[in-house]
Amino acid sequence: MSSSRLALYIFASSGRPRNINFSPFSRFTFLCLSPTSSSYPFLISRCVGAMTSGEAAEETRVGDLPEACLADVIALTSPRDACRLAAVSPSFRAAAESDAVWDRFLPPDYRAIVPMAAAPAAGGKRKKGVYLGLCDKPVPADDGSMMVWLEKESGAKCFALPAMKLSLPWEDGEFSWRWTPHPLSRFAEVAQLVDCTCLDIYGRLPASVLTPATAYAAYLVFGTAEGHRGLSFPDQETTVAVGRRVVARHAVCLRPDDAEARKFRGVGLGAGAGPVRRPARRDDGWSEVEVGRVAADELASGGEDVVASFEVLGWYPKRGLVVECMEFRPV
């Protein structure tokens, strides 16, 4: 395209990329609809130069746009949209895979998470590889005390706090829990409950490390050992709090047992009326139960901690719970 073209780019907030017009005309409108990039329309106009009378008859195609212009616009969408747009044409592919685009999708602190990612790129396409690497494999962060990865579609950060970083009950000192390696765990050790009567588990994460303007859910990731006891009674409760404000509270059961549920129906259900949440089996062999969710506006201040907790309300013997971690993931 001649350097004297006027390009108007309009981005709206829902739907999928459409109306990409390759027919020639001297002024064009490129309309791209992104379902995830924002909740309101973007209007960006770029003046590449004033048109002259001698150029009025020239043909202009979308693919003729400078790569930097295309990259600037694609960076306003989402990782998912960028991958879709890469299939439009070779020029779109070059722009959609450039560092200028994927640098916008990476979190601002990604160099602290993956130090080697700060190295210069060959061919200007290193950042996409860094992004996909962070999506496919969690990496240690905070001196190895937790795992961090990215949700592939949005680029929002996910966190896993290992059992060692959680607050566990220690009523009997070292005899309450046994720290042991586990073949399915991402961490060096997991915590196996040996014996206790009071069971409450807390995980704490600063709201400032979470991806802004993003709702999150907390999950307890666990297993059970042979001979487990006291984990099937329906008097278990989870809460999520931001600072001192409780924003979610639910009744749960780690090892659902319908016979036990009928026996204890209406007894000790501190979470009040409502369905009892059950765990889900994960592809990695662990089970998880959703502790609760926190809305994006609850995290807006960023100066408080998000605290997720699991508690068994009844005072009776419990054993055999294997705690791997607590995860915080975008929803």
Tell me: the pLDDT tens digits for 114-146?
A: 765 444 444 445 899 999 999 988 999 887 789
Q: What is the pLDDT of residues 143-200, one digit of tens each?
A: 778 999 999 999 999 999 999 999 998 755 556 899 999 999 999 999 999 988 888 9
Q: Which of 43-47, 68-72, 102-106, 237-241 has the lowest mean pLDDT?
A: 43-47
The type of residue at 137 is K
Bridge partner list, 200: 311
Least confident of 3-7, 64-68, 151-155, 261-265: 3-7
291: CB partners within 8 A, 6+ apart: 217, 218, 219, 220, 238, 239, 240, 248, 250, 252, 308, 309, 310, 326
Give whole-number Cα distances, 17 to 7, 40, 85, in Å.
18, 16, 7
pLDDT at 315 (0 to 100): 81
Q: How many CA atoms lie within 13 A of 41 on its CB side?
A: 8
Is the predicted pLDDT of residue 37 greater than 50, yes or no?
no
Residue 181 confidence (pLDDT): 96
| Between 50 and 259, the higher pLDDT residue | 259
Handedness of CA 320, 325, 326, 331 (dihedral sign): negative
Query: Does residue 94 carry a pLDDT above 90?
Result: yes
- Quote the CA–CA distance of 70 and 153 in Å, as a whole number: 20
Better-predicted residue by pLDDT, 169 or 44: 169
Q: Is the pLDDT of residue 261 over 50?
A: yes
Between 24-28, 177-181, 284-288, the lowest mean confidence (pLDDT) is in 24-28
**Taking every pair of C-alpha atoms in the chain, what is the biggest distance, in angstroms?**
88
Comparing 3-7, 213-217, 276-280, 298-302, the range with the smallest average pLDDT is 3-7
Residue that wins the pLDDT comparison between 292 and 62: 292
Torsion of CA 161, 143, 215, 323, to 10 degrees: -10
**What per-residue confidence (pLDDT) applies to 32?**
42
The correct CATH number of 157-265+273-330 out of 2.60.120.260, 3.30.470.10, 3.40.50.720, 1.10.3720.10 is: 2.60.120.260
Q: Tell me the pTM.
A: 0.77
Average pLDDT, integer, range 232-251:
91
Q: What is the mean pLDDT of residues 195-212?
A: 92
Residue 58 is predicted with a pLDDT of 58
CA contacts within 13 A on the Cβ side of 72:
14
290 or 23, which is more confident: 290
Going by the DSSP 8-state scheme, the letter that residue 14 receives in this structure is: S
